[in-house]
Amino acid sequence: MRRILRRREVVEDDWRLAGEEGGDDAGSPALILPFAEFRTHIAKWRAYPGRLGVRLSPADAAEDLAEDIQRLSLVAAEFPTPGEGRGYTQGRLLRSRLQFKGELRAVGAAVKQDLLFILARCGFDSFELAAGQKVEEALRALDRYSVAYQPAEPVPSIRQQRYSVAG
């Protein structure tokens, strides 16, 4: 089972990836689908009785989930390499433009402690940490800064922020 750092707790992943073997197949497990699969068989998945999540590739447009966002309990964005930065925008758009309230998960080989703070600031609250990452260090990394300049997603460690959204 995958271990996930979710809302500051390490949990066993209760989600199954589409096509993933094993586990309890009874009923309708919570399932994460690649966005392409979700879109191709949209009618089928809309009727799926269990909890549903979608995994976006970096090139996918978060807005394309708008119609189904209420139906989704989880959206995952990929960070396959540390230089791949489109997922940050996906996160912000999901939280702000699509008002997504469910689990926003960062996945991929680059999900390591040094990116966690900015990921959290872009709305990610769940991290599938890359192999070898120490949970204690990851938790500390989430609180690395107590100040920020931009009005991004709020995180608990930030006590002071310079700019806010025009009101």
Binding site for other proteins (CB under 8 A): 58, 61, 82-86, 88-89, 92, 96-97, 112, 114, 117-119, 121-122, 144-153, 160, 162-167
CB of 118: closest distance to other proteins in angstroms? 4
CB of 119: closest distance to other proteins in angstroms? 8
Long-range Cβ contact pairs of 150-158 (< 8 A, separation 24 or more): 150/121, 152/92, 152/121, 152/122, 153/91, 153/92, 153/95, 153/120, 153/121, 153/122, 153/123, 155/117, 155/120, 155/121
CB of 16: closest distance to other proteins in angstroms? 29
User: Which of 52, 152 has the CB closer to other proteins?
Assistant: 152
User: Which of 42, 135 has the CB closer to other proteins?
Assistant: 135
Q: Which residues of 74-109 are buried (b: 16+ CB within 10 A; e: fewer)?
A: bbbbbbeeeeeebbbebbbbbbeebebebbbbbbbe
User: Which of 55, 121 has the CB closer to other proteins?
Assistant: 121
User: Which of 22, 83 has the CB closer to other proteins?
Assistant: 83
CB of 120: closest distance to other proteins in angstroms? 8
